[in-house]
Amino acid sequence: MKRHKEIQRLAYELFEKGGRVHDREIDHWLEAERILRARQLDMHAVDIEAAASKRRAIQRSDVRRHEAKKQARQRG
């Protein structure tokens, strides 16, 4: 139901921004759905990139830790 309300709100905004032209309800509704779907995909892409960035940072940390242990063994 929340999604329906979001689409409804955005479709009404599009209606107002479009000069309150009637008989375009379906166009506004479909455009609102498209916009919200794109936003959701963008948020998903950000989440994926954040996870990948965190994974790369962990990998770099693991490499540094491994190198430090290797150097300590060579010295010791």
CA 73 from centroid of its chain's CA atoms: 44
For residues 70 and 42, give the distance between their C-alpha atoms in angstroms, rounded to a whole number. Answer: 42
Q: Where is pLDDT greater, at 64 or 2? A: 2
Task: Find out whether 31 and 8 touch, Cβ atoms under 8 Å.
Answer: no
Residue 45: CB atoms within 10 A of its CB come to 10
Domain ranges of the chain: 2-75
For residues 10 and 3, give the distance between their C-alpha atoms in angstroms, rounded to a whole number. Answer: 11
Quick: pLDDT tens for 10-69. Answer: 999 999 999 998 999 999 999 999 999 998 887 766 677 777 777 888 888 777 887 888
